[in-house]
Structure 1
Amino acid sequence: MTSRLVVGALALAFLIAPAAVAQQRSDTDLLEQGQQLYQEKCALCHKDSGAGDPPTFPALSGSDQLQDPVRVVRSIRRGRGRMPPFPGLTAAELSSLATYVRDQWANGSRGVTTEEVASALEGIDEASPMVSVWDGVFTEAQASRGKAVYEGACGTCHGYRLNGAPDDPDMRSTPPLARARFLRVWQGRSLATLFEFTRATMPEDNPESMTEQEYIDVIAYMLSVGEMPAGGDELQPDADSLAGVIILGERTEMEPPRLTGADERP
């Protein structure tokens, strides 16, 4: 009788152990993908450490705002305050990113499943179709207005060629605002992120000193210098609409986001 119990216990252990290892591997993959997404979408403002730059960019480390998974998922999806929305993330990506920020920096909250993501997004309108900066998202007239603003407010530091080389050789170099070096930083981010970051931090000595229209006109000029084509409609200074415009180094067809489905986790 005792030997049967031992054999049964061993058999049960062999069944449970692989499942536990698989779950641990799944959790590790989830956090790894979440970390990658955080670096791509969030670290620019909230920093690698999660410390942010309060009050402009709030800290995520030790934030009680992360305790409610529904709030976290909806904030990522729809944006909140200065934070732009990210409508292009799939359910699996939202799950990974929400899990990562809730777990890191001693936050210690549990993960968020794709089922919870789908539930959190119930009743929220589907995202508008995604486009890229190569799809004619600004007009020539808007870029022309942006050039005039840029030359008055930005060119002294960022250079007349937008390459980060100041007009005054005694000034320190600044981030480039067009072409390959700009794209290395901003590739894959949305115009909403660029718009909100620029508004909050530029000009360096007087942030938010321009109108919202002037900021978005400057962005149109930046795109035109990067040889992205003009179109028939102007960019609007609205984070919701700008969130659907992705910065890419080359023209590519944007895939619509998939917001539901528990089988989307990688």
Structure 2
Amino acid sequence: MTTAVAAAMVVAAAFSAHAQTGANAGAGVYAANCAACHQAGGTGLAGAFPPLAGHVADILKPADGRIYIGKVLLFGLEGAITVNGGNYDGAMPSWQALSDNDIAAVLNYVSNAWDNGKSLPPSFKPFTADEIKALRTPELTSAAVYALRAATAGGGGSPATATAATSPVSFTADQVTHGSDIYVDRCVQCHGDTLDNGEFGGAPLNGSYFSKHWGGGSVAALVAFMKAKMPPDRPGSLTDQSYAALAAFLLDANGYPKGDKELPPDTPAQQAMSLKRGP
């Protein structure tokens, strides 16, 4: 073996190891921050969180697609969208607290995972930390990102009209009581007795934080997130009725009016219930 060939093999091995490290980094970021909603296989949750499998490559085909998807991660997204024939009307939070390296890594991961890489445009180049840094300015609202989606050719920004959440939310006092018992038993240590003062630093479940993350979508998005994340030691372990009761407790705590009809436990019915407040 010549010195030149040996050197080339060393360079190739180093490049392969670097690529594998990057893929592992992106997979780790995804597992820690994204999989709870979009699922480990990128399939999403029907009526709540859109799939990334079979969709990310479509976003990246237009010239401005990579700008749009980068800003989604940085600033969030709020508004009705249609993805792969399914309608979604929720609110994705901002992930700008992640580093530029982490956001670039997770974008590279979802661009190639679940066979997305087979449909990427030939001109696709991996996202870089410098590219993400440049996208941080100017800072956008999630509503502005939604407008950017609608303007991005192939971005799937058409409003979801057929099954978009249109009905007011409904839950009963009995559900609130049941949900309160569940909260005290399973949630209070992380989120606190006032829903924003937990011993272990759980996110606030009331006030402006709740409104920003959930006030623009449907009940289904809120419940699906709870099923995917809560309780932390056994996500999804409660019954559908218990998750509905817990949601009723949170909605009551955030000023939504009680009624004489229970909050339903099934996703299609929850998807029809909007958390948007009147003017």
* TM, length-normalised to structure 1: 0.50
Q: 1:113 to 1:150 in 2, by over 3 A?
A: closer
Q: 2:76 aligns with which of 25, 39, 52?
A: 39
1:153 corresponds to which residue? Answer: 186
Q: Report the more deviating stretch, 211-220 or 35-44.
A: 35-44
2:204 pairs with 1:176: yes
2:218 pairs with 1:190: yes
Higher relative contact order (CA 8 A, sep 6+): 1
2:111 corresponds to which residue? Answer: 61
Write the deviation string for residues 112-133 of structure 1: whole angstroms up to 9, x where unpaired.
287x979xx9xxx9326613xx
Q: 1:66 to 1:191 in 2, by over 3 A?
A: farther
Cα offset, 1:202, TM superposition: 0.9
Find the aligned partners of 2:189 and 2:246 in 1 and give their Cα distance. 14
Equivalent residue letter for 1:247: L
8 Å CA contact 1:178, 1:226 repeated in 2:
yes
Find the aligned partners of 1:177 and 1:40 in 2 and give their Cα distance. 19
2:53 corresponds to which residue? Answer: none
8 Å CA contact 1:158, 1:173 repeated in 2:
yes
Structure 1 residues without counterparts, runs of 5 or longer = 1-25, 53-58, 69-92, 100-110, 253-266
Equivalent residue letter for 1:149: I
8 Å CA contact 1:138, 1:234 repeated in 2:
yes
1:140 corresponds to which residue? Answer: 173
2:278 corresponds to which residue? Answer: 251
Q: 1:112 aligns with which of 150, 154, 159?
A: 154
- Number of aligned positions between the proteins: 172
Cα offset, 1:244, TM superposition: 2.6
Cα offset, 1:94, TM superposition: 10
Cα offset, 1:190, TM superposition: 2.4
Cα offset, 1:32, TM superposition: 4.6
Write the deviation string for residues 199-256 of structure 1: whole angstroms up to 9, x where unpaired.
11111122122112111110100010112101222222222222233333x424xxxx
Find the aligned partners of 1:35 and 1:231 in 2 and give their Cα distance. 39
- Divergent runs of 4+, >6 A: 45-48
Find the aligned partners of 2:195 and 2:171 in 1 and give their Cα distance. 18
8 Å CA contact 1:136, 1:232 repeated in 2:
no
**Higher-strand-fraction structure:** 2
Find the aligned partners of 2:258 and 2:194 in 1 and give their Cα distance. 19
Equivalent residue letter for 1:112: G
SS at match of 1:96: helix
